[in-house]
Amino acid sequence: MDLIQGTGIAKGYSGHQALDDVHIHITSGSIHGLLGPNGAGKTTLIRILMRILFPDKGSILYRGESLSPHHVDKMGYLPEERGLYKKMSVWDQLLYFGRLRGLSRADARTKARRWLEKLDLARWQHRKTQDLSKGMQQKVQFAIAVLHEPEFLIMDEPFSGFDPINAALIRDEILAMKKEGRTIVLSTHNMTSVEELCDEITLLHRSRVVLAGRMTEIKNRYKTGEYLIRFRGHHISFASALWTSGQITGKLEDGAYTTLTVKPLEAGGLNKVLQNVLPVAEIVEVRERLPSMNDIFLQAVGAHSSLNTQSSLSE
Amino acid sequence: MVSARLFLVLQREFFTRVRKPTFLIMTLLGPLLIIALYGGVIWLALSEEKETLIINIVDDSEVQAGHLVEKLNRQAEIRFVRVDSNLIVATDRLAAGDAPYNALLYLPRDVVNAPSGITLGFSQRPGMSLIRAVEYLCQKAVEHYRLLAHKVDPHVYEMVRAPFHIKQYYIQEDGSRTGANEAPYIWGYVASLIMYVSVLLYGAQTMRGVMEEKAGRVAEVLLSSVRPFELMMGKIMGIALVGLLQFFIWIVFSAVGIFLLALWLLPEAVRDPDQLQILLDQSAQRALIEGKEGIDSAQVAELLRSVNLGVMIPSFLFYFLGGYFFYSALFAAVGSLVDSESDAQQFALPVTLPLIFSIAVAMAILNNPDGRLATLFSMIPFTSPVVMMVRIPFGVSVGEFLLSAFILLISFLVSVWVSARIYRVGILLYGKKPQWRDVLRYAVKG
């Protein structure tokens, strides 16, 4: 079931169309990657989802209801540009934002205490945020976004500024929240985290959606039919044995082992390839080569850019 | 829920400011500093008057007018001696610096008919008030002998030329009278100045607060929980409360201070208010008889009594709130549009200019607080808070007051509405300095 269903969203600023006929579906309980190059319109879309901005056109449904202020209470937001009151203590800050999110004073206190412990910030709770390191300020910001336990959480570049240990801590918290059934939108340029965490994505480019769907489907759609075959033996004898059953598109040598990327060309596909090469190579691993999110991103954005260039040239 | 969030913002704005040590310092020390500054100047001026003039009288007059001069003297700062009776000897001693006196008063032989022959010599110039006092004593003595010469009883003469002031008063709409003297000018001047400074200071605080939230990128986090209007109004109202608290403390302190001052200067008037009028009349009489300029304690008391503080204080608070809300909404809009102090100055100028203009107008209408100019600027919301402060001590008709207040109230709503539209767009605008036409578009389209 869709938690968010955005249809035909458009938003323009003076002389610039930030979003143009954008459709977005966010499945309830999923981690949804919102991807796109800089200036694609991600922040504008997030702000519209958070009701900070209002679209010029289009509609947004939240669990089937038109998005309205009371829905925002169920949302959490970690903006890319982190902002805290510099001269306010960590504790006061958590309490203030928690209460702005609709928590009672007692609830805000209990939850603030819990998150301070979880994120190892308890020792710093009475310090002003300006006295904290950047990483710690990031953790405070994260705690503010999740303090009221939102069912829908939007995080813009949640890992930026974190060292690997804290990044892992945040990643674990995100996964734990998913386990609890919360829906999370990750807007990021970090494709590794997209691979690790996301169930589905929406890729924006030049104000439009150029790719959307479940990760597995998209990866299938972008796969090239190539396989990675790792074997012990010489790659020339492998290539001779392969003959016309497949085409080698990549090679990686690793000591006594070689990994070749092979695209089957004849009927029988991978089976035929393996039949041919088994007599000359000791095969240790065969797996389908799926495109990385990085490849997909580059391909989708690149294809769209070149399409746009071509159409503008033909005009 | 909406008002709860606005209240939370208001609470934060209020408490973070009030808890700052600077608030306490400014609230307690600010007025003390101003008083100390003015007090210091007055003290310096007064301490200069404290010098003593020891005058050697060389009395050549037939009538021996020197005795009367000595007798008439009531001033502690002036003492008369008769050490040297020869003008040349006395002049030489004064010049040599070994005389037990520092001035030399010469009364010529025919002092009654030719008083211009009276001379006052000194090696160091005394203060003007002391010279005037000596002149006054000589004049009174000469007058006395002239009256005797013309067979006029000096007591009768004093009675004939007893000075008097014409009492001025306003007739109010309900037929009651209120006093008219210099006091309203002083009240008007001071109140309009405080109004101008307060609106400017607190308005600028709002602008800085908005800028800080924008530059510190807190605004976006806040806006995901609070509507821009709530955020802006919470800030404006929180700072207004800080201002009101500050005024409240000052009013209480002033009341206590004035009471203690009155107790010290005029204990009889504090015990029995009717005594004040008697003291005032005496003071006026004395001022006229002695030709003395300046303010004494009775006049200070009259200054406090002559203005209806029951009207003045609520009016001040109303116009402060109205003016502050009107201007600070505009200041908030300016704060939301800029990222840096230098840009803020450029955008704040059109907001501060009318305020500066209003204090200039206020000073101009002090001469004619009921004129057409005064009435006109009392109705314009940009100037009315400051201008009305000049006029209220003189008395403003209820109708005019209500109209001015109504216009200010409506204008404040319009200003908040327009500013909220600009604020909503401006607060999320980074890295781009908007042009005036952009601002106009935000105001119209939101």
The residue assigned the tokens 């107790």 is B263
What confidence tens digit (pLDDT) does each residue in B235-274 have? 999 999 999 998 888 888 877 877 777 777 666 655 565 6
pLDDT value at position A94? 95
What confidence tens digit (pLDDT) does each residue in B89-121 have? 999 988 888 888 999 999 999 999 999 999 999
pLDDT value at position B397? 86
> Could you tell me the pLDDT band of residue B234, with boundaries at 50, 70 and 90?
very high
* Planar angle of CA A127, A133, A134, nearest 5 degrees: 125
pLDDT value at position B48? 61
A50 neighbourhood in chain B, CB within 8 Å: 223-224
What confidence tens digit (pLDDT) does each residue in A228-268 have? 999 987 888 888 888 888 899 888 888 888 899 999 987 77
Q: What is the mean pLDDT of residues B111-140?
A: 90
Q: Is B395 in contact with B217 (CB distance < 8 Å)?
A: no
Measure CB to CB from residue A79 to each of B213, B221, B441 and give the nearest one: B221
Measure CB to CB from residue A83 to each of B1, B9, B218 and give the nearest one: B218
- Domain assignments of chain B as residue spans, ordered by start: 2-30+179-270+306-445, 52-153
pLDDT value at position B267? 65
Q: What is the rounded CA–CA span in Å between residue B144 and residue B152?
A: 9
Q: What is the rounded CA–CA span in Å between residue A140 and residue A123?
A: 12
Judged by a CB distance cut-off of 8 A, whether residue A75 touches chain B is yes
The residue in chain B having the minimum alpha-carbon distance to the alpha carbon of residue A86 is B216
Same domain, A1 and A92: no
We report the CATH number of the domain holding residue A203 as: 3.40.50.300
Q: What is the mean pLDDT of residues B148-162?
A: 87
Same domain, A93 and A241: no
Same domain, A246 and A267: yes
For residue A4, is it within any domain? yes
CB contact under 8 A, A72 and B225: yes
pLDDT at B84 over 90: no
Q: What is the mean pLDDT of residues B144-163?
A: 87
Q: What is the mean pLDDT of residues B13-22?
A: 91
Judged by a CB distance cut-off of 8 A, whether residue B216 touches chain A is yes
Same domain, A60 and A159: yes
Residues 6 or more apart from B273 whose CB is under 8 A from it? none
Q: What is the mean pLDDT of residues B338-363?
A: 87
pLDDT at B193 over 80: yes
What confidence tens digit (pLDDT) does each residue in A70-87 have? 898 899 999 887 789 988
Same domain, A144 and A158: no
Same domain, A88 and A55: no
Parent domain of A184: 1-74+152-166+178-222
The residue in chain A having the minimum alpha-carbon distance to the alpha carbon of residue B227 is A52
Q: What is the mean pLDDT of residues A149-173?
A: 91
Indicate the residue type of A58. Answer: G
> Could you tell me the pLDDT band of residue B303, with boundaries at 50, 70 and 90?
low
pLDDT value at position A311? 42
Helix, strand or coil, per DSSP, at residue A261: strand
Same domain, A44 and A90: no
Q: Do strands A282-288 and A227-232 pair parallel, antiparallel, or not at all (unpaired)?
A: antiparallel
For residue A172, is it within any domain? no
A46 neighbourhood in chain B, CB within 8 Å: none
Distance from CA of B216 to the nearest CA of A (A): 5
Cα dihedral sign for A210, A213, A215, A216? negative
Q: What is the mean pLDDT of residues A178-207?
A: 92
More confidently predicted of B379 and B98: B379
Cα dihedral sign for A118, A124, A128, A133? negative
Q: What is the mean pLDDT of residues A140-150?
A: 93
* Planar angle of CA B33, B36, B42, nearest 5 degrees: 150
Same domain, A230 and A211: no
Query: Which of A26-40, A80-94, A288-302 is the most confident on average?
Result: A26-40
Q: What is the rounded CA–CA span in Å between residue B423 and residue B444?
A: 12
More confidently predicted of B420 and A268: B420
Same domain, A119 and A236: no
For residue A313, is it within any domain? no
Judged by a CB distance cut-off of 8 A, whether residue B218 touches chain A is yes
pLDDT at B217 over 90: no
pLDDT at A310 over 60: no
For residue A127, is it within any domain? yes
Same domain, A65 and A183: yes
Q: What is the mean pLDDT of residues A267-287?
A: 88
Q: What is the rounded CA–CA span in Å between residue A152 and residue A164?
A: 25
For residue A277, is it within any domain? yes
Q: What is the mean pLDDT of residues B358-380?
A: 89
Q: Do strands B53-59 and B103-107 pair parallel, antiparallel, or not at all (unpaired)?
A: parallel
Return the C-alpha torsion angle A262, A267, A270, A271, nearest 10.
-140
CB contact under 8 A, B221 and A144: yes
For residue A306, is it within any domain? no
B218 neighbourhood in chain A, CB within 8 Å: 83-85
For residue A315, is it within any domain? no
pLDDT value at position A299? 85
- Radius of gyration of chain B, Cα coordinates, nearest whole angstrom: 31
The residue assigned the tokens 């990657």 is A33
CB contact under 8 A, A75 and B224: yes
The architecture that CATH gives domain B52-153 is 3-Layer(aba) Sandwich (3.40)
CB contact under 8 A, A14 and B8: no
- Radius of gyration of chain A, Cα coordinates, nearest whole angstrom: 24
pLDDT at A102 over 70: yes
Which among A221, A229, A232 has a CA at the least distance from the CA of A248? A229
Q: What percentage of chain A carries pLDDT values higher than 70?
A: 96
For residue A310, is it within any domain? no
pLDDT at B284 over 60: no
The residue in chain A having the minimum alpha-carbon distance to the alpha carbon of residue B12 is A96
Instruction: Give the total number of structural domains in chain A.
Output: 3
> Could you tell me the pLDDT band of residue B1, with boundaries at 50, 70 and 90?
very low
Phi, psi of B104 (to 5 degrees): -135, 115
Same domain, A121 and A189: no
pLDDT at B289 over 60: no
Q: What is the mean pLDDT of residues A127-149?
A: 91
pLDDT value at position B293? 47
More confidently predicted of B35 and B153: B153
Written as one string, the DSSP assignment of A187-225 is: E-S-HHHHHHH-SEEEEEETTEEEEEEEHHHHHHHH--S
Q: What is the mean pLDDT of residues B55-72?
A: 91
pLDDT value at position B227? 86
pLDDT at B377 over 80: yes
> Could you tell me the pLDDT band of residue B7, with boundaries at 50, 70 and 90?
very high
Mutate to test the interface with B, among A44, A85, A107 (most CBs of B within 10 A): A85
- Per-residue H/E/C for B45-91: HHHHHCCCEEEEEEECCCCCHHHHHHHHCCCCCEEEECCCCCHHHHH
CB contact under 8 A, A83 and B226: no
> Could you tell me the pLDDT band of residue B294, with boundaries at 50, 70 and 90?
very low
Judged by a CB distance cut-off of 8 A, whether residue B221 touches chain A is yes
pLDDT at B276 over 60: no
Q: What is the mean pLDDT of residues A123-144?
A: 91
Judged by a CB distance cut-off of 8 A, whether residue B110 touches chain A is no
Q: What is the rounded CA–CA span in Å between residue A270 and residue A178?
A: 37
We report the CATH number of the domain holding residue A264 as: 3.30.70.1710
Which own/partner pairs from A302-305 qualify as long-range (CB within 8 Å, at least 24 positions apart)?
A: A304/A205, A304/A206, A304/A210, A305/A205, A305/A206
Per the prediction, chain A carries an average pLDDT of: 89
Q: How far apart are the first and last CA of chain A?
A: 42
> Could you tell me the pLDDT band of residue A313, with boundaries at 50, 70 and 90?
very low
pLDDT at A314 over 50: no
Which among A29, A4, A75, A2 has a CA at the least distance from the CA of A181? A29
pLDDT value at position B188? 86
Per the prediction, chain B carries an average pLDDT of: 84
Please list the alpha-helical segments (H only) found in A119-199: 134-146, 164-179, 191-197
Q: What is the rounded CA–CA span in Å between residue A97 and residue B135?
A: 76
Same domain, A97 and A54: no
pLDDT value at position A315? 36
pLDDT value at position A308? 53
Model ipTM value: 0.79
